[in-house]
A and B are shown apart, each in its own frame.
Chain A
Amino acid sequence: MNELHPSVSHLREDRLPHIWCPGCGIGTTVNTFSRALEDAGYNEKNICIVSGIGCTGRTAGYVNFDSFHTTHGRPIPFATGLKLANPDMKVVVYSGDGDLFAIGGNHFIHAARRNMDMTVICINNFIYAMTSGQAGPTTPLTATATTAPYGCYEPSFNLPYLADSCGAVYVARWTAYHVSQLVKSMGEALKKKGFSFIEILSPCPTYYERRNKLGEALDRMSFYRKNSVIRNGADTRETDIEYQKPIVLGKFVDREKPSYIEMMHQQMQATLKDRYVAWKGPNG
């Protein structure tokens, strides 16, 4: 009976219980992330988690790595500075859809364009959950939210298409139901050089499902099970999410491109030759 939870070494036990609601999918994704790290065999010293603000933003506070809870929308530029200063670190941005794509949208597109060396994991629950359910850039058309009480009439982002068109080298979408696929996908994303991106659709029973009368968390998981269409390699122009319609999941992009750090060294070396003093982190 003394068996420990397999993720326990990756969690700050002294911070538990967490603040996430019963039925929330964020914890499930943290569990899959932990398993992906375990499978990949990373040295825990070299993992760094950077979060913004919001429910998913709290992830940084629960994982037992060097971890930063930054400002709203800004985990990507923080992670950029950190990665460039210590390229030995495996830098993972773990944040929500509002944080990464509303207030932080500009940073996302530029980090993808640069092919900056980091993995971005976005938990998309379709609303701002920490502030109790306002509409955001991922809220599907016609869904209701506290700030869209008569139904949302703004088109939403198709996140895989956005990441793809900005240059990300790895783009996938799963849901909190698809744990085995997620573990594999996270492992692949972590191994990529450059900018990798995973969108994870998650229940928010407290604010999204309840307000839209979509049932309990279990009903949402059941919806994801029944309405997911796995199409690896799908054209990301066709991965829009429509309210309560089938959702395309899968690994959409997996390509090779030189990363920001590789291109920086290459260009400097070509121009400055032996005058170039490459910064390779505190350990050289």
Chain B
Amino acid sequence: MRNVVSGFLDMVDEGRRVTADPKGVLTGAHFIDGDHACCEGALAAGCRFIAGYPITPSTEIVERFAWRIPTVGGVFIQMEDEIASSIAIYGAAWAGLKAMTVTSGPGFSLMMEHIGYGVMTETPSVFVNVQRGGPSTGLPTLPGQADIMQARWGSHGDYAIIALSPNSPQECFDMTIDAFNLAELYRVPVMFMMDECVGHMVEKVVIPSADKISVVPRRFTDARPGTYQPYEANGTLVPPMARVGDGHRFHITGLTHDERGYPSPNPKTQDKLIRRLMEKISKNASKIYSFEEKETDGADVVVLSYGITSRVAAMAIRNAKKRGVKVGSLRLKVIWPFPQERIRELAGCAKAFVVPELNMGQISLEVERCAAGKARTISVPHAGGTVHEPEAIEQAILEAAR
């Protein structure tokens, strides 16, 4: 049986893992699209609550959940808008459930305030964005990858989140499980950044038996009622949680707060809190990074890509190799945190990076920052609506090799 979950769990203490609840696992080989696979991944991960609002091209995820969840045991509710959806999931999370919401660009924009609220209150949650062309209503039925920076920076204030990018329906299943596991491990909203192509592409998806799937359950406090402090991390960076009804009578706020969860509007508390919220991601980044690297040893050119674009880039890489270019590839499965150390290392060896993406060059700027002048960065932008012509990427590789 293939190893489900892209390797993150190797980094997790045995004590934090359990096997999946078989009720949510639809074991077998399926021929389904990425949206449906994402829904099955959520169910396998133990997600028992989705609040959503219909939006193309993500709707099939909630449609499937609405169909599946009453026979698994959980709740789906279609809310009045994405703002409501993105906070209803926090209500469910604080009641103890694993919860997710699903959307695309315009809805993702509406959810931004609550990404910040989830970060500040440290509420485990998954936000799926099946990206389409933007800005605004843009290209509702056609692909884009232009929400990558929004996923990282869209809410106000300084914060850190985790963002994943699958490139196949199989990964939509596997990595949705990862998204839930990471959300629990770091108590953070996790952005699951699909794109329309991956969402609507139909391929074989193998769902293993529940005992082959590892999930991270919620870590609840073992403090006695009356002694629990919601934000006392005890040096671990990630404090344990409570849930309503267990007698802790805790308070949660989006205001800057102290260990008790009480508002404490002063620069000292702010500094301590914001540093911990950032550090729980940055200091654990090496455990969170996930990328697939091929033939980068001795490569003159490294193609860095993610999502559907990585599959288009594969053809360009093959063709460039035939023309004698020493070209390797690095595909991001986790985009945020960004694997800056690895990019820096590669920049010391390769001549150039080629970065194709369905936006006007968002991650290429990140690559350029990490390369810091040691290697060239060649962006291959695309405004979205379809995928790149492989020739455009191939041309960039050839130019980079010169």
Pair A277/B72 contact, Cβ less than 8 Å:
yes
Query: Which of B74, B84, B253 is the one whose CB lies under 8 Å from A69?
Result: B253
How many angstroms from the CA of A15 to the CA of B247 in the assembled complex? 19
Proximity bits, B28-58, A CB within 8 Å = 1, else 0 = 0000000000000000000011010000000
Q: State which of B90, B249, B253 has its C-beta within 8 Å of the C-beta of A66.
A: B249
Please report the C-alpha to C-alpha distance between residue A86 and residue B244 in the assembled complex, in whole angstroms.
Answer: 8
A50, A60, A81: the one contacting B49 at CB < 8 Å is A81
* Contact residue among B71, B84, B99 (Cβ-Cβ distance under 8 Å from A74): B84
User: Quick check: is A210 within 8 A (CB to CB) of the other chain?
Assistant: no
Distance in Å: Cβ of A195 to nearest Cβ of chain B:
14
Give B residues with C-beta under 8 Å from A: 23, 48-49, 51, 70-75, 77, 79-81, 83-85, 87-97, 99, 113-114, 117, 243-255, 260, 262-263
Residues of A within 8 A of B92 (CB): 81-82, 84-85
B94 partner, pick from A14, A46, A68, A88, beta carbons under 8 A? A68
Q: Does A240 contact B (CB under 8 A)?
A: no
A64 contacts B95, CB within 8 Å? Answer: no
In the bound complex, residues from chain B placing their C-beta under 8 Å from that of A85 are: 48-49, 75, 91-93, 95-97, 99
Looking at the assembled complex, report how far the CB atom of B396 sits from the nearest CB atom of chain A, in whole angstroms: 43
Report yes or no: A268 in contact with B70, Cβ–Cβ below 8 A.
yes
Shortest C-beta distance, B207 to chain A (Å), equals 19
Task: Determine the distance from Cα of A281 to Cα of B249 in the docked complex, in whole angstroms.
Answer: 18
Taking the nearest CB of chain B, how far is it from the CB of A78, in angstroms? 4
- Report the separation of the CA atoms of residues A281 and B97 in the bound assembly, to the nearest whole angstrom: 9
Contact residues in A for B83 (Cβ distance below 8 Å): 73-74, 77
- Listed A/B pairs (25) with beta-carbon separation below 8 Å: A45-B245, A45-B246, A61-B253, A67-B252, A68-B251, A69-B253, A69-B254, A74-B114, A80-B77, A80-B84, A81-B49, A82-B92, A82-B95, A82-B244, A84-B91, A85-B92, A85-B93, A86-B244, A89-B245, A107-B80, A276-B71, A277-B70, A277-B73, A278-B73, A279-B73
**Smallest CB gap from A275: residue in B:** B71
- Assembly CA distance A78 to B83 (angstroms): 10
Residues on B with C-beta less than 8 A from A80 are 51, 77, 79, 84, 88, 91
Task: Enumerate chain B residues within 8 angstroms of A81, measured Cβ to Cβ.
Answer: 49, 51, 77, 87-93, 95, 99
Which residue in A15, A48, A86, A106 is a CB contact (below 8 Å) of B96? A86
Interface residues of A (CB under 8 A from B): 12, 14-15, 44-46, 48, 50, 60-61, 64-71, 73-74, 76-86, 88-89, 106-107, 110, 268, 272, 275-279, 281-283
CA separation between A50 and B90, bound complex, in Å?
Answer: 12
- How far, in angstroms, from A44 to B249 measured CA to CA in the complex? 8
Kindly identify which residue among B75, B114, B263 contacts A279, using a CB–CB cutoff of 8 Å. Answer: B75
Contacts of B80 in A (CB 8 A): 77, 106-107, 110
A85-B97, A110-B80, A277-B73 given; name 14 further pairs at CB < 8 Å. Answer: A45-B245, A65-B249, A66-B250, A77-B85, A80-B51, A80-B79, A84-B49, A84-B75, A84-B88, A84-B92, A85-B49, A272-B71, A275-B71, A283-B245
A74→B23 CA distance, assembly (Å): 32
B-side contacts of A71, CB under 8 Å: 87, 113-114, 117, 254
Min C-beta distance of B126 to chain A, whole Å? 14
Check if A45 sits within 8 Å of B243, measured CB to CB.
no
Determine the residue in chain B with the shortest Cβ distance to A86: B95
